[in-house]
Homo-oligomer: A and B are copies of this chain.
């Protein structure tokens, strides 16, 4: 990699997507293009499009809809009209009947004219806002939970969340306020309290989606744990619902849009 961390942070989305398209960046997108909205992605055949859009509408905190392409359309017109969803994400996952069959860096060979792309807001986006407000916290996960999503047609499953530990109550309240403005980036927390209450055991001691990540300190007394819906939720829904065919981003390998997070904030 020939780019410094600062260069990646200040890079414009178009330039970053161009690197990705050329195959020059296949790593996580977490710290690139600071201030711009990143998006989780789900691609499904037209036959499943209504039920999945309804699933998103019924579960707007894990699945906030930023943009939806028409069947066969590869450009997400509202959030990045010159991007191509087949090539511009640094990593993809291809699912068949709920199992991962491939993790390619582009999906050109899987593309069909009946596929519909759903771009879902991502918490990386409001993380910028919380940093701007000088908040600090310990970030965990994401983790699967025992919280059921509202089902829609053939889509059902349990919610994935991102827990964050805030070191004092004042910061936790501020985090609720700030994230609530960002309704297209998961909005307000879905839960406050002990991880065991929503089925998360041994918080910080393992990482459900990124096994190579180092173990993190457990929460300490006096800290407040907030949990936000996570855009990996549709992948769990695909697995639990055994959807015949579905393509998603690879976790943490998001699409970077042309819209700034603040453009999409409420109030």
List the interface of chain A (C-beta within 8 A of B): 46, 49-50, 53-54, 57-58, 65, 68, 70, 78, 150, 152-153, 177, 180-181, 183, 187-188, 266-267
Contact = CB atoms under 8 A, between A and B. Distances in A.
8 contacts: A50-B50, A50-B53, A53-B53, A53-B54, A70-B152, A180-B266, A181-B267, A187-B266
Contacts of A53: 50, 53-54, 57
The count of identical subunits is 2
Nearest to A176: B267
A152 B177 CA distance: 33
* Most central of A57, A150, A183 by chain B CB within 10 Å: A57
A183 B180 CA distance: 12
Contacts of A180: 266-267
A11 B107 CA distance: 56
Contacts of A150: 78
A266 B70 CA distance: 30
A58 B70 contact: no
**Nearest 6 interchain pairs by C-beta:** A50-B50, A49-B50, A180-B267, A53-B53, A57-B65, A54-B68
Contact of A68 (B49, B57, B181, B266): B57
A45 to B, nearest CB: 12
Nearest to A69: B54
Nearest to A267: B180
Contacts of A68: 54, 57-58
A49 B78 CA distance: 21
Contacts of A267: 177, 180-181, 266-267
